Structure 1
Amino acid sequence: MRLQWVFVNLIRFVGLVIASVWMTLASAAPAWYTIQTEHFNIHYTQGHQLWAISAAKELEIVRDKVWQQQSRGLSKKADVVIFDPIHAANGFALPSTDNPLMALFTTPPQSDTAIANHNSWQQLLILHEYIHLVHLSQPSRHTWKQALRNVWDLYDVSQAMMPRWVAEGYATLVESKMTGRGRLYDNYSEALLRELAQQGALLSYEQLNDGNHEYQSKAMAYLLGARFLAWLEQRYSQQTLDSVWTRMRAVTSRDFTRAFKGVFAEHPATLYRRFIAEYTYQAMEKEQQEPVMASTLWQEYAYGASSPVLSADGSRLAIVEHDKEGRVKLNVYQTQDDPDAERKFMDKQRTLLNEDPQDVAEVRPKVFAKKTLYSLEPINFSGIRYPQWLDNNTLYFIASTADQANPKQRRGELFRWSVISNKVEQLTQNQAIRRFTLVEDGQTIYAEQVAYGYSELVKIHLPSQQVTALFDKQISTLYDFPSYSAAQQKLAFLKHTINADWQLYIQDVNARNTYPVPLPKGYQYLTQPSWSPDGDALYFVAGKNGALDIYRYELSTGALYQLTQGQALFQFPIAHKYGQLLYLSSGFEGVDMYQLSALQGELVNELEPRAQSGSVNGVNGEKAPNSYATVLPPARVHQDDMLSQRYDIWHQDASLTLGAQYASASTALINVGLKGSDFLEQLSWHIGHTQDVSRGQLQGNFAKLRYQYDQFQLDIHGFDFEVTNETSTSSDKVGEEQHGMFAQLSQHYQWGQLNLQTQFAGLFGKQAQRQQSVSQRWLRVGIKQSWLYDQQSFAIGQKLSGYWLEGQTAERNWQGQSLSASLFGKAFYIPMALSYQYAKRENQALQLGGFSSSLMSETRLANIIMAPELPFYTAQGNKYEGFSGAITLKESYPWLYFQQHQLDGQLFAQSYGIKWSVGFNGQTWLGKFSPAGLSDFKVDVGMSRVEGDSFENENRAWFGLWYDL
């Protein structure tokens, strides 16, 4: 009776909690809406409404133009999600003949990126991602193969894949040829490739997909891939290349290489070699025509470097550096030469010659490394960007933090670093800013603020967090690189308007009058303005004719000077002492800093008209060189009224699911089912059957339902299974039959790095052991907590979960507790973890062994401790303790682990080996928006040595491909 009273009252209490939580979430969580057009379903949150309306119209325009250009479209309506998860320009497409998906990130690209060359970010992004879908989602002309694709999402997506360089290269090619913009016609991209070609560093065909760890090699799938495909079209024809895509969807199965050889009569690697030879030859010809530049190497960096900034007195230089793994540091260097570095070098050479007088000493380095004064790694935030000096000991910078309203989204916020005390403070909250510039008092910044696709230039008073817009915001207008001159009381900034190139402006912050800076005629790329110390000159980088150069604009005379002649990939010019200019330049090894005279240069007489509104590559509907016959019309922000409706979770798509699991300690399973969800996976379900195909130990049926709303989740499982174990240490066959219903409510909370999840769960059903069927029910209340301190090379975190359980089996009441704790982190970038698990039951046995599956989920098996290296029901007891430790080289690599299992205070088994697990689920945006048959898919692999006194020591292995809804 006591248990029944507890059960009833807890249910009532939970009902009140759910009602209050629901009301809270309904007012706090962002609501999703849908715009339906003829060929697309566009999903967005309310703040993105105007961006979504414009995108809906642009999507149909792009779809019609692509159909005209290549007579290809999508056979199904595509889902399009519009959001801003990382506060940076990006997007992705998931090809499928049944459930095509596009994700459009609304934050626009900055001026110094390879995707800055566009008529509008929205148009370029939509075209690029739509081409992915049209290119990769074409149905097979093989009847049975396509029939299988229509019902099985996992197979469908696997058949849509092509080599990365082919997929990205073709989308980049079409993006450029149908807009007259894009990376094929981009001066930065061309200058980068020419520099690499002159260094003999263009990638081989085998390296084109994923790069080779050299600088910028990951981008070559886009940049080189697009140019190779354009070369094929020019040398042969557009129709010849197009035939490759037709052959890949034929009745006869062909991969890309076979389809390519059937059209071009050559392996793609053979023609790629010829393309690289011709491209390198043209780059070397250009190098022969370049005048010698009087510059000197000033500092070498290990790999990537960006955003250098000098302190006011010029004694210190701060710069953001990253290594091949993408790990970031903000380093502060002394600008004076380090005499100790030269002395150490000379001492080393003397020691070398003293030991071996016939040896040859090393050549003196071109430059000795500057002394590193301070270094900062990210601490509980992502990245370090755009540092600015307040004084010699204080730096401001931007880093990404979790959005308070949605922890899965990242936003740029302002931080302050006191280099002497190494103290870091966050200065803004929910301001969503990117590049900024400090006013001399350190209380005010000018910054680019980006939210819901709008780029604004704003003034922020830091103590009050008051934001003042400098101009009216428009989706069609972008801003970048605000740069303030205290000496002149002027603000320089870049501005991009629709169908035009970036422009450079100067504003008198007192008079508020704004005027454009003259620019060289025929320019296309423009970025990175910086002031001279006295504010009399403004330096910047501009590109034309496939080359980048540094320019100097003099305020007093209005004259523009070109300081270089395309000899390098010039980036980030900053004025240094004694009339010198520092700049960055990159090659295949990474980025280095050089020095040249800031006073040299040729007067630029041919200037771009100030009414300039387009690129030399073709805009306003005009075709660019080598473009297709069909091009997109001029970009625009469409403001037509369009009907939208609240997002409908009942619009469900379903897919066949197939899974297989094997554990040498127990058995092998086949899972067959049907899985469905709405696009945002707010409502998901999975029904299926599991059959043992090895020893007949496990079989059953299941039905699962999951509802998610913001941080609230409800899980309901119906189940019916039978499990036995003939290899138990007991002489009897051990096992049971169960059927019933399980439900769990959970609510997630987050405060900075602290995460908390509350859970309430219950189960009722029937259980049969030794041919005796009895009723069972239990309740569980618990909490899960985690915390992390992450400093990139070093991290420490912990997880803690605790549960109280009370249940009834037949007429026997039982209760228990479960606890798990883990400590994890990194040392010298190497991940490691320690964990402890405890469970105790009174009047109820705990069962040890077996593995989780779609049928038997560890979440609802309150009295089973899963261990895939042990058989199901291998042992039982009333108290369990587990100890484990693990280490791996990288987070995505397999773990080397050790595990101990103790029952009732006695060591039952220990195992050691390697294991690896990965899930494709809502923890990533791609997993969240993927088709139902692809989401919640999990892969488990492990090999171990298992030892114990009650069984023979064995080597055991397990492998699983299954769905974990």
Structure 2
Amino acid sequence: MLNQLRRNFILIVFILFLIACISGNSSAANIWNWQSYETDHFEVFFQEGYQSQAIETLYYLEKHRSEIAGLTGNELDYKISLTLEDIGLFTNGYANPVFNKMGIFTNNPASIAGRATYENWLRRLGIHELTHMAHLQNLSGGSKVTTRIFGDIMSPNIHSPLWLIEGLAIYIESQQSPAEGRLNGGYYRWFANRAAAEESLPELEEIIYNHNYFPGGQQYLYGAVFIDYLANQYGEAKFSELFNTYGAYYWAAITGNFFPGIGLDRAAKEVYGKAFSELYQDFKEFLIEDNWDFEFSGQEILSNENGYLSGMTSKDESLYYFKSNSYSSAPFEYHRINRLIEFDLIKGQEKVLLETVAGIHGGIEVQNGYAYFLLGDSKSGYPNIYNNTRGIVTNLYRLNLETGVKEKLIRDEIRDFAVLNDSIYFATARKDNYGSYVYQYKDRKVEKVGYISELIGELKAYQDMLITVSKGNQSAWNINLLDPENLELNPIVATKMPEKQISIAGDIIYYVANYFDYEAIYSYDLKSGKSYQLTDDIYARNPVIANDQLYHLSFNLDGMAIYRQDINEVNYDQARPVENLTVGSEINYDLAEVGQELRVNNGFTSNIGYLLNPEVRLLPVFIYSEDGTGLNSYQLSLNQAGSFDFNITSRLLAPLTISYNNFGQESGRYNQLRFNYPLYRSNLNGLSVIDLFYQTDFNYHRFGSGIGFRYPGHRLSLNLQANFSGQEYFGRIRYQKLFSKGRLTIDTSLSQELKPGYSAREFEVSGNSGYKIGADLTYKLIEIHQGSWNPNIFFGDLFIKPFIDYQSYDYNLLSGGFELLLETGTANWLHLVPRLGLAASSEEVKTYFGLELKF
């Protein structure tokens, strides 16, 4: 009786604690109030305050639906659900053709971001994601039968390489305006041209898989330039032919991934007369021939191998910038370190001022012995499901350059800031309408100055004024003068193409623009109004003046670098940048103009209705379904006992996740209820994660917690599980020291009747009470980076992992050995790690082979 009371008391306390956590999160209550707008072809789910973005998104999707249908060969005569979510300063979207849904995150990219080339973000992102849906859901012939039975997971076009999927979407997003889309941004074409000039273009099989090579996202870059080549050489109409042809290969979902010769290459031969391997070689030869006279100006003064540079500014005789590097700690596992650097131009030496695991946002300002900068962090209470109600905010820091002491000043969704006299001005985006709020930070207090109708991407101080890079909802980024007193905005450099990445030296603004199909550095004299072009044959970012010379960032084939060159002012025809360009007038997003009528639904009811149609139907083995927003899901699967297991998972009380499992076994059916609550998250150095869980089968109660710490070169995690009524527990401490080519891991656990489920490297002693301790060193031996297109396989890096384990349960056992681990990509989507090992103990010596799937 006493034990029963104790169990019930613990259960009640735990549930009350969860309710207290949930009630403190406003998003958890609002999660029930998802609203829904519907047209003939789309249903968008959103939260209160995002009505205007929902209508705008529907407008562009309906307006461009027929255009995308024509390019992809998919009539798009069915309804697609879409979730509009706010994840703070995180920018992205997704398309899920298996579940017939899309997602759009509301944050517009900043002007210094890689996605900065756009006039209207919701249009560009909507077109990109809808292109994915139309392409991947294109069906014909026998595939209509197989997908009707098993769901869209059997759609042949879903089983395409990422370079084709993303390359097509980037190509189409770049057709709306010369000021929109990544193919119009300068970087993609310039980098591919330089790689061609140095005859270093990757092979087709190399740009499918994710490996730690530079630059990241090669599937996007080379895929887009390759698709653009095909469109120019063979015409856009071939795309729909290709997808219609391949969409009829019902066998492609199983065999076409591994053997393009009977899948995608077969379709390409029917449409283009050549396999994709041949088409890609033609593309490479074309680029090499077209860039035989490629020249590169400027003197390289520093290179960041396999890494990026950003936010560069200058002060006195030094440059300040962020240096970001990604390291391979294990197969398909990478850790990133961001560093704030001071580079002494006289000595030619770097000094690390700060190391962090946090993301980098905005630029750097150096004033009066302090460096000011923004680092990304995580905050709860956001109206989203994708990131479990958490969003990205920024912390504005001030670093004393003499003492190295760092101080946090402001925490908000700061897009950029400027230090002006004794104040700091910063901008955030308005949520319910387009535009920016401007704030003043002075005497440790924040005061809202007001609102402007343009979105601010950059802020710089000039005399007693502010210079902005900002844009309207239907225009490109332009440079404007902003009066901080009355927020009057006056244009300085405002063409129909984007001007961005500004710095100011004296009375001259230096900026980057893509006026002539390549990005170059330009200057504008605020006194005389004269403009000059300063570079013409190098992709440039972050131009600054130091020691009367021009410094900027650009790309090598293996990393970013700082370049220096003399200031050569060249006149250019200012009329040329606006020739043949059109700027859309302000649009009221009237759906009647695109032949649609807006219908308002009960968002919660409409969302749940999607559960009635399971989208994955691998009968009779597996059934899976999600609702329209991803709040709820269920799964029915056949188990090894010949019975069925059932699971239902819900985040209606997000961020709390509740899951119920019903297992069928020979001895009967068993229930399990589990609650998971992410109590704490941070993207900064130090404490990063606190998770809580409670699990019960209604007789046995288990509680647990997980705590994690992250530092640039270290990781530490602590886990504890306990069943207090039975005096059972399990504790684990795991430490990792990270290197540039690997990591050292020390793992120890202590258990009382709750033995952990993982083994000590091929040897497992009996017993449930005792301890384990082990250590291993994962080290990258060589970079292979070789493979083949048909059959489809690619090898990345080879690692070796020596290890030693000691475990003491019913008896003691010491063992050790080593493993060889190989990064392997195959079937377009699979990232596998074959593992060949040799292990020895006092009892025996054994060799073994394993295979791990990486996501």
Partner of 1:804: 723
AA paired with 1:563?
A: L
Superposed counterparts of 1:198-213, under 5 Å: 198-209=197-208
CA drift at 1:243 = 1.7
Q: What whole-Å deviation, never above 9, does each CA across 1:312-344 have from its counterpart, x for those lacking one?
A: xx12211122336564322111121x3xxxxxx
Residues 88 and 413 of structure 2 are in contact (CA less than 8 Å); yes or no, is this contact kept in structure 1?
no
In the alignment, the residues of structure 1 paired with residue 197 and residue 706 of structure 2 have an alpha-carbon distance, to the nearest angstrom, of 55
Q: Which residue of 543, 550, 553 corresponds with 1:584?
A: 553
Partner of 2:331: none
CA drift at 1:23 = 4.9
In the alignment, the residues of structure 2 paired with residue 432 and residue 399 of structure 1 have an alpha-carbon distance, to the nearest angstrom, of 11
Superposed counterparts of 1:395-794, under 5 Å: 395-405=371-381, 408-429=390-411, 431-441=412-422, 443-447=423-427, 449=429, 454-456=434-436, 458-461=438-441, 463-473=443-453, 477-485=454-462, 488-509=463-484, 513-518=488-493, 524-532=497-505, 534=506, 536-564=507-535, 566-577=536-547, 579-598=548-567, 600-604=568-572, 606-607=574-575, 616-620=580-584, 637=589, 643-648=600-605, 650-651=608-609, 652=611, 653-654=613-614, 672-691=621-640, 701-708=644-651, 709-722=653-666, 737=667, 739-750=669-680, 752=682, 753=687, 755-763=689-697, 777-780=699-702, 782-791=703-712, 794=713
Partner of 1:817: 728
Residues 400 and 412 of structure 1 are in contact (CA less than 8 Å); yes or no, is this contact kept in structure 2?
yes
Measured at CA, do residues 165 and 542 of structure 1 come closer, stay the same or move farther in structure 2, by a change above 3 Å? same
Residues 378 and 681 of structure 2 are in contact (CA less than 8 Å); yes or no, is this contact kept in structure 1?
no
Q: What whole-Å deviation, never above 9, does each CA across 1:453-504 have from its counterpart, x for those lacking one?
A: 855252331554524355434xxx432221112xx22221122224433322
AA paired with 1:713?
A: T
CA drift at 1:307 = 2.1
CA drift at 1:402 = 0.8
Residues 71 and 240 of structure 2 are in contact (CA less than 8 Å); yes or no, is this contact kept in structure 1?
no
In the alignment, the residues of structure 2 paired with residue 801 and residue 909 of structure 1 have an alpha-carbon distance, to the nearest angstrom, of 25
* 2:339 is equivalent to residue 329 of structure 1: yes
* 2:161 is equivalent to residue 163 of structure 1: yes
Superposed counterparts of 1:911-930, under 5 Å: none
AA paired with 1:796?
A: R
TM-score normalized by structure 2?
A: 0.81
Residues 584 and 592 of structure 1 are in contact (CA less than 8 Å); yes or no, is this contact kept in structure 2?
yes
Residues 157 and 243 of structure 2 are in contact (CA less than 8 Å); yes or no, is this contact kept in structure 1?
no
AA paired with 2:715?
A: I
* 2:355 is equivalent to residue 373 of structure 1: no
Partner of 2:793: none
Measured at CA, do residues 135 and 420 of structure 1 come closer, stay the same or move farther in structure 2, by a change above 3 Å? same
Residues 129 and 171 of structure 1 are in contact (CA less than 8 Å); yes or no, is this contact kept in structure 2?
yes
Partner of 1:907: 812
Measured at CA, do residues 470 and 257 of structure 1 come closer, stay the same or move farther in structure 2, by a change above 3 Å? farther
2:60 aligned counterpart, secondary structure:
helix
Q: What whole-Å deviation, never above 9, does each CA across 1:811-862 have from its counterpart, x for those lacking one?
A: xxxx222121213223324334333333335xxxxxxxxxxxxxxxxxxxxx
CA drift at 1:746 = 4.2
Q: What whole-Å deviation, never above 9, does each CA across 1:345-372 have from its counterpart, x for those lacking one?
A: xxxxxxxxxxxxxxxxxxxxxxxxx112
* 2:248 is equivalent to residue 250 of structure 1: yes
Measured at CA, do residues 655 and 754 of structure 1 come closer, stay the same or move farther in structure 2, by a change above 3 Å? same
Unaligned runs of 5+ in 1: 339-369, 622-633, 660-670, 692-697, 723-736, 765-776, 807-814, 842-862, 919-933
Q: Per chain length, whose mean CA-contact separation is higher, i.e. which structure has more relative contact order (CA < 8 Å, sep 6+)?
A: 2
AA paired with 2:280?
A: Y
Partner of 1:349: none
Partner of 1:272: 280
Q: What whole-Å deviation, never above 9, does each CA across 1:31-78 have from its counterpart, x for those lacking one?
A: 233333322232233343321232123222222333355552346532
Residues 364 and 371 of structure 2 are in contact (CA less than 8 Å); yes or no, is this contact kept in structure 1?
yes
Measured at CA, do residues 460 and 74 of structure 1 come closer, stay the same or move farther in structure 2, by a change above 3 Å? same
Unaligned runs of 5+ in 2: 252-261, 328-335, 383-388, 592-596, 781-796, 824-828
> Percent same amino acid among aligned pairs?
17
Partner of 1:366: none
Partner of 1:772: none
Partner of 1:108: 108
In the alignment, the residues of structure 2 paired with residue 887 and residue 700 of structure 1 have an alpha-carbon distance, to the nearest angstrom, of 42
Q: What whole-Å deviation, never above 9, does each CA across 1:81-100 have from its counterpart, x for those lacking one?
A: 2224372432222233xx22
Aligned-residue Cα RMSD (Å) equals 4.2
CA drift at 1:883 = 3.0
Partner of 2:367: 390
2:377 aligned counterpart, secondary structure:
strand
Partner of 1:839: 751
In the alignment, the residues of structure 1 paired with residue 803 and residue 776 of structure 2 have an alpha-carbon distance, to the nearest angstrom, of 4
CA drift at 1:427 = 2.1
In the alignment, the residues of structure 2 paired with residue 941 and residue 190 of structure 1 have an alpha-carbon distance, to the nearest angstrom, of 36
Aligned residues: 792
Measured at CA, do residues 805 and 128 of structure 1 come closer, stay the same or move farther in structure 2, by a change above 3 Å? same
1:85 aligned counterpart, secondary structure:
coil
Partner of 2:790: none
Measured at CA, do residues 243 and 421 of structure 1 come closer, stay the same or move farther in structure 2, by a change above 3 Å? same
1:111 aligned counterpart, secondary structure:
coil
In the alignment, the residues of structure 1 paired with residue 136 and residue 191 of structure 2 have an alpha-carbon distance, to the nearest angstrom, of 29
Superposed counterparts of 1:296-307, under 5 Å: 296-302=299-305, 303-307=307-311
Q: What whole-Å deviation, never above 9, does each CA across 1:374-397 have from its counterpart, x for those lacking one?
A: 342215x233652211233x2111
* 2:141 is equivalent to residue 141 of structure 1: yes
Q: What whole-Å deviation, never above 9, does each CA across 1:702-733 have from its counterpart, x for those lacking one?
A: 333333322323333333425xxxxxxxxxxx
Partner of 1:846: none
In the alignment, the residues of structure 1 paired with residue 821 and residue 614 of structure 2 have an alpha-carbon distance, to the nearest angstrom, of 29
AA paired with 2:240?
A: D
Measured at CA, do residues 203 and 455 of structure 1 come closer, stay the same or move farther in structure 2, by a change above 3 Å? farther
AA paired with 1:556?
A: K
Q: What whole-Å deviation, never above 9, does each CA across 1:753-779 have from its counterpart, x for those lacking one?
A: 254444444335xxxxxxxxxxxx433
Partner of 2:785: none
Measured at CA, do residues 38 and 494 of structure 1 come closer, stay the same or move farther in structure 2, by a change above 3 Å? same
Measured at CA, do residues 840 and 595 of structure 1 come closer, stay the same or move farther in structure 2, by a change above 3 Å? closer
- Greater C-alpha radius of gyration: 1
Residues 34 and 41 of structure 1 are in contact (CA less than 8 Å); yes or no, is this contact kept in structure 2?
yes
Mean Cα deviation higher: 49-58 or 450-459: 450-459
CA drift at 1:79 = 2.6
1:108 aligned counterpart, secondary structure:
coil
